[in-house]
Structures are given as C-alpha cells and as structure tokens.
C-alpha cells in the first residue's frame, strides 16, 4: 500500500513539474531555420556542442507549444485512449530533454547520452500519426454527431500538430545523423537528411516504382510514367535542388498512389491505361512538379475536402490492420500530410481537377536554400482564437436545393 502511495505521489509531482515547464517554454516562439542554415552548420566544421546547446532549448520550446495546443482540443477528443497515450509521449519526451538543461556541453559523455535520448524520443514518436488518426476515429465513433465547429478545430489543430512533428523530427535527424550517422558513399553530398544536390527526377522515378509495385500487387497492373523536365537556368543540365529527399519522396509517392488508383478505376473497361505524366520545371525562384492523370477527376466542390483529415475515398482501417498495407491507406492522411511537407519549407501542393477527365497535382518548392525556411506553428492568442470559433450567419446568399418557382410565388403574394 505504501509503495502505491509513493508511486501516485511521484506521478503527481511529475505532472506538476511538467505543467510548470510547459507553461514556461510555451511562452517562447520556435526559432525557424533555413535549409541553408542546416547545410552550413552540417558542412563547415560542425560543432556538436553548439548543436546540443541549441537543441536543449529549442526542442522544449517546440514540444511545449504543441502540448499547449493539445490541451485545448475538444474535451471528448482529448479523453480518447489514443490521444491520452500520445499526450503522455510528448510530456515524457519533454521531461527527458529537460534533464540536459544544466548539463555541461564540454562533457563528451553528456553529448553521447543526448544523442541516445534524441533517438529514443524519435522512436517513441514513430507512431504519432496513426495513433492520432485512431484517436479521431475513436472520437467520431463515440460521438457521431456532425459538428462543423469541432471539425474546423480538428483540421486546424492537425495541420499544426503534424507540422510541429515534422520540424521536431527534422532537428533530431540532423543532429543524430551529422554526429552519429554513417556517411552514405552513394550520396556523398548528403548532410544529415538533406541532399545538397537532390536529383528531383530520380526521386520521382523511385517514388513511381514503389507506387507501381504496390499498385500491381492490388490491381495486377499500373499506368506507365512519362517524365519530362525543363531547367530554365540551363536546359542541358539535370535539375538539382537542396532538399530532404525523404520528404519529396513521401509527397510524390502519395500522389502516384492516388493517380494510379483513380486511373485504373476509371478505365476498368479499357484494354490499356493512359500514362501518368510528370513535368519537372526549375526557374529562378521555384521548383515546380506537375503530375497529370486521366483518372476521371472529382467535382470542384470536393477538391478542398481531399485535404481534410476527416475524409477519405478509401475504406478506413484500424491501427491494428495488417502492417504490410500501404502507409496510412484509408486514414485519408496522404494528401493533407503531403501538403504539410511542401509547406514546411515555404512551398505548397495544389490540386486542379477536371471532372470527367482527370487531375493535375502541382507541387511548388523553393529553388533557393535561403528561401526554404521552416514554417512553424506558435501557440499564442491568435491560435487560441481559432479554437474558440463560433458559427455565424453566412453573409452571402446560400442557394436552396430546389429553385423557387417565381410564377407561383407572385400568385401567392
């Protein structure tokens, strides 16, 4: 009995300490880094002590900001088992990193321990996306009432939450790979997880091959790829930019999966499938990738819905489903998270659909490493106001489903 009391007392003390630290560090805004800063730091006499001192302050700020945002979620969503587990992961990770606040950066053992803790944090958060997705499913399953305000809040929160996760993993990956990772002979220009001369067409080809393999597994066929590129700066040179290949691969893989599925389902009666066409163009400021399919498209009114975490055109799995299935297939998170990857370094992902014909997906990225700056969420009064949104009367006329018969209306008057 005494041991139980001590355990409960210890847990309560930890919770109180965590809240104090969260309140403190959430008062600070995250410090966004540019791609050039990541590259310069990793390529010119990288100093592990400098990185350690920066991260032990910056990671708590980013973690505390997003934990604060988790706390203002709708109570019924916050109370779901999955979100409770996820919340505990973030608090645990924050407390582990705070252990290094008063440690000396000159102690080599401290630096080694810090890398180990960062790897532990990264591994703990590996399943954050499907766990949160499961929490949303639990919430919608228990409270199936359609609520536009809650749906807006969930969409707003998840965009910020997953962006924060991307940024935290970026910082952790850079530190662990630069100071503990082994160099890859096949990619000598890679600094951490950034390739300073990332071959965009090569990544696109790799993403296509992976999606094709998956498509052939389920449909026994797949559309071919027509890939072209235009380098406006030098049309004889291949297109290279400083970017994170894994981020670019993720975006393209999701787009290829969607394009292949739509193409096959729209041409079931055809003997051949139209190809998926990809155009890569590099200008002075932008790197643009356009992927065009002939998958039948979607109505214009549904285009923005494709970026909603609460909407999917595929059957929804549970988190316990077969681990061999496509990543997040059915959760409806492929497109919204791909857009977050583009926006993370000031880019964007847009869809232009022609119902009855097909869809163009356009990825915009910054061509210059100095322009590719992290886009990070900050928890402040402005963010809090978004969660207190209330529905008001529309200031535009909303057309009724049945047009009014003007002749009858005049008679009745």
Positions annotated as catalytic residues are: 250, 254, 257-258
Contacts of 236 by beta carbon, 8 Å cutoff, 6+ apart = none
Distance of alpha carbon 72 from alpha carbon 85, whole angstroms: 16
Integer CA distances (angstroms), 143 to 130, 158, 251, in order: 20, 19, 32
Integer CA distances (angstroms), 211 to 3, 216, 260, in order: 54, 9, 8
Distance of alpha carbon 206 from alpha carbon 187, whole angstroms: 15
List, in sequence order, the alpha helices (H) in 180-199. none
Integer CA distances (angstroms), 284 to 48, 52, 201, 238, 288, in order: 34, 35, 18, 15, 11
125 token code pair: 């958060």
Other Cβ atoms within 10 Å of 265 Cβ, number: 12
Other Cβ atoms within 10 Å of 295 Cβ, number: 24
SS3 48: helix
């Amino acid at each position: 009995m005494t041991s139980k009391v001590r355990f409960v007392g210890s847990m309560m003390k930890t919770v109180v300490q965590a809240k104090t630290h969260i309140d403190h560090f959430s008062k600070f805004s995250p410090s966004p880094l540019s791609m050039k800063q990541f590259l310069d730091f990793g390529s010119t006499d990288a100093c592990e002590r400098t990185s350690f001192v920066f991260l032990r302050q910056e990671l708590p700020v980013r973690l505390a900001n997003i934990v604060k945002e988790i706390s203002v979620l709708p109570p019924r969503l916050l109370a779901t088992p999955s979100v409770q587990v996820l919340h505990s992961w973030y608090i645990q990770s924050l407390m582990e990193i705070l252990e290094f606040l008063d440690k000396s950066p000159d102690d080599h053992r401290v630096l080694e321990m810090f890398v180990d803790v960062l790897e532990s944090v990264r591994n703990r958060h590996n399943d954050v996306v499907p766990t949160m997705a499961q929490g949303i499913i639990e919430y919608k399953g228990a409270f199936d009432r359609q609520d536009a305000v809650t749906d807006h809040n969930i969409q707003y929160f998840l965009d910020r939450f997953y962006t924060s996760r991307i940024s935290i993993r970026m910082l952790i990956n850079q530190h662990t790979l630069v100071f503990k990772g082994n160099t890859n002979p096949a990619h000598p220009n890679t600094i951490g997880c950034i390739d300073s001369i990332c071959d965009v067409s090569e990544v696109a080809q790799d993403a296509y091959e992976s999606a094709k393999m998956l498509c052939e597994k389920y449909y026994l066929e797949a559309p071919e790829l027509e890939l072209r590129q235009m380098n406006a700066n030098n049309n004889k040179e291949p297109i290279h930019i400083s970017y994170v290949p894994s981020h670019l691969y993720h975006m393209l893989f999701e787009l290829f999966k969607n394009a292949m599925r739509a193409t096959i389902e729209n041409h079931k009666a055809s003997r051949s499938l139209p190809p998926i066409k990809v155009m890569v163009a590099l200008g002075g400021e932008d790197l643009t990738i356009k992927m065009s399919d002939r998958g039948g498209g979607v109505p214009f009114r549904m285009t923005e819905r494709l970026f909603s975490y609460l909407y999917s055109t595929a059957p929804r799995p549970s988190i316990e489903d077969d681990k061999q299935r496509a990543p997040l297939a059915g959760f409806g998170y492929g497109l919204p998270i791909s857009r977050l990857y583009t926006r993370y370094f000031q880019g964007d992902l847009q869809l232009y659909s022609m119902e009855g014909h097909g869809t163009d997906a356009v990825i915009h990225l910054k061509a210059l490493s100095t322009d590719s700056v992290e886009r990070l969420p900050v928890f402040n009064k402005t963010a809090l106001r978004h969660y207190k949104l209330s529905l008001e009367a529309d200031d535009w006329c909303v057309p009724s489903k049945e047009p009014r018969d003007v002749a009858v209306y005049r008679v009745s008057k």
